[in-house]
Amino acid sequence: MSIRKQLSLTYAAIALIAVLAVSIVLLATLRAYYDAQEQQYVERNAKAIAEVAIDFIDDRERLQTQVNVFSFLTQTRVVIFDAAGEPLVDSGSPQSHQAVASTTFEVQLDDVLQSVRQTFGTDSRTTLLVLEDSQGSITQETTLLGEEEEVEGIIGPLAFVGGDSAETPRSAQIASAPIYNLQRQAVGRVELSSGLAYGRTILQSVTWGIGVAGLVAVLLAALVGWFASARLTRPLTSLTQSAREMAAGDLSTRTAIVRRDELGELGQTFNQMADQVERTIATLQQFVADAAHELHTPLTALRTRLELIRQPDNHTAAAQQQVRHLQRISEDLLTLSRLDNALQSPAMTIIDWTALLRSRFELIAARAEQAEIDFRFSLPDHSVWVNGNAAQLQQVFDNLLDNALKFTPAGGQVTVELSADGMLQVRDTGIGITDVEGIFGRFHRAPNAAPYPGSGLGLAIVHAIVAAHHGKITVTSQSQQTEFNVYIPVEKPVY
């Protein structure tokens, strides 16, 4: 996953965690607050009802009617118990309770008296409720059978006026208050329960609101993270591209990060490193080229002189062989230096891979015949066109065939095949390769190849040339069986 996606998801996760934390604290606080309010509501009404219930405690029918009115006004279940704890009257569920009263609500708000009148049942009963303040204090004046009674302290559910209490959930809060007579003796108890749980409805609304706000916050955080991450990843992308160009051989590449932060410091450090690497590589290449050139000239002159003074009975033949070996090493080092220097790469042209190989077969066949080796080759009937350098591809073929003939004893076989898709196969029945892993390393020689002459640079040169042609070379070897496969990309036919 990219850094941009990771940062966007991180921003979204942080926003989600923040929303969840705030939601939990807020909902817990609101829940505690509304639980306390609901408990306070039933407690205050229980005390208010207990103060007036003493007037009806001896009249069961009248007490039942009054309890029904209280149940309707407070939207709670009202139960009155006697001194022994036995229930005297029970209003039942507030939802199913049928009030028998005619009630007028007069509300004083901002010096304006608002009145709402509603009739319940058919009984001739009038109840006057006046809202004294915004805290919910209600004064009730009841007229029943021509008698007037005043009840103060009843708190009605304000949201019930004009609303539908049947859809409002019920609270689990329960409160009770003792009923005292004039002698302050407890003659009963009032219990209120199943009040309106307005807090639960509010909490549900708040929860939905928090959910929508949280979703919007998470989306905005992810969007902000996406755009913010662009500023962070843009210099990293530039640095990565520069590093890839350096890995491909372009040591002159530099990153263009100009910032006054850690990324800017990283870009500056990368450019300094690139400068140092370029200088070091250039110095090494120049050293190898100079060394190979300096070795080549005196070795050529020495070889010429040794050939002039060679006598059948002296040791100049061995010296001459060593000179040829040193000359071959210097030539290979010079070739590798040129291959390593991307700025001095040879020009590439479209060449006939088939014709190039066929031109070398006569010489290879003569060497194989002298070494008593069976040489076989198979070329396609048509031309195989590749984009490359003829001299370098010829060197690839010569080095592979030179090794095949050198390590194959008399009576063995060397086979060369070229397929139509540009795959060159060179097989031999020689001594095999005991260390295939490092076979393309410089100056690397397998343990079983020590008795044979060589510099250990031939296959390194082959590998470098094939890589420069965007090709691929592989090797498999077993006892008395070695096979090299060289693939060079095929170009369209040239007519």
pLDDT tens for 287-301 read 666 666 656 666 676
DSSP character for 487? E
Rounded to an integer, what distance in angstroms lies between the CA atom of residue 416 and that of residue 424? 7
Q: Which CATH number fits the domain 346-487, given the four candidates 3.30.565.10, 3.40.50.620, 3.20.20.70, 3.40.50.10790? A: 3.30.565.10
pLDDT of residue 478: 81
Locate tokens 């306070």: which residue?
40
- Which is it for strands 413-418 and 374-378: parallel, antiparallel or unpaired? parallel
Residues 6+ apart with CB under 8 A from 128: 103, 104, 106, 139, 140, 141, 142
Query: Coil, strand or helix: which one is 495?
Result: coil
Average pLDDT over residues 171-196: 88
The mean pLDDT of the chain is: 75
Rounded to an integer, what distance in angstroms lies between the CA atom of residue 461 and that of residue 473? 12
pLDDT of residue 298: 63
- What six digits make up the tokens of 80? 């009155």
- Which is it for strands 481-487 and 423-428: parallel, antiparallel or unpaired? antiparallel
- What six digits make up the tokens of 412? 């063995």
Give percent above pLDDT 70 in the chain.
Answer: 68
DSSP character for 92? -
Tell me which of 142-151, 303-312, 411-420, 445-454 is least confident.
Answer: 142-151
Rounded to an integer, what distance in angstroms lies between the CA atom of residue 50 and that of residue 55? 10
Query: Which carries the bigger pLDDT value, residue 241 or residue 333?
Result: 241
CATH 3.30.450.20 in the chain, residue ranges = 3-201
**pLDDT digits 0-9 by tens, 399-440:** 888 888 888 888 888 999 998 888 899 988 888 887 777 777
Tell me which of 26-30, 35-39, 258-262 is least confident.
Answer: 258-262
| Domain 3-201 in CATH 3.30.450.20 | yes
Q: Which CATH number fits the domain 262-340, given the four candidates 1.10.287.130, 2.60.120.260, 3.40.50.880, 3.80.10.10? A: 1.10.287.130
CATH 1.10.287.130 in the chain, residue ranges = 262-340
223-237, 385-399, 450-464 — most confident range = 385-399
Is the Cβ–Cβ distance between 403 and 462 less than 8 Å? no
Question: Across-strand partners of 350?
Answer: 387
CATH 3.30.565.10 in the chain, residue ranges = 346-487
Query: Which carries the bigger pLDDT value, residue 447 or residue 176?
Result: 176
Q: Which DSSP string do the residues of 377-399 spell out, in sequence order?
A: EE--SS--EEEE-HHHHHHHHHH
Global pTM value: 0.42
Torsional sign, CA 455, 456, 457, 458: positive
pLDDT of residue 149: 44
Is the Cβ–Cβ distance between 195 and 71 less than 8 Å? no
pLDDT reading at 255 higher than 50: yes
Rounded to an integer, what distance in angstroms lies between the CA atom of residue 416 and that of residue 200? 89
**pLDDT digits 0-9 by tens, 40-99:** 888 998 998 888 888 888 888 888 888 888 888 888 899 999 888 899 999 888 766 544
Is the Cβ–Cβ distance between 46 and 71 less than 8 Å? no
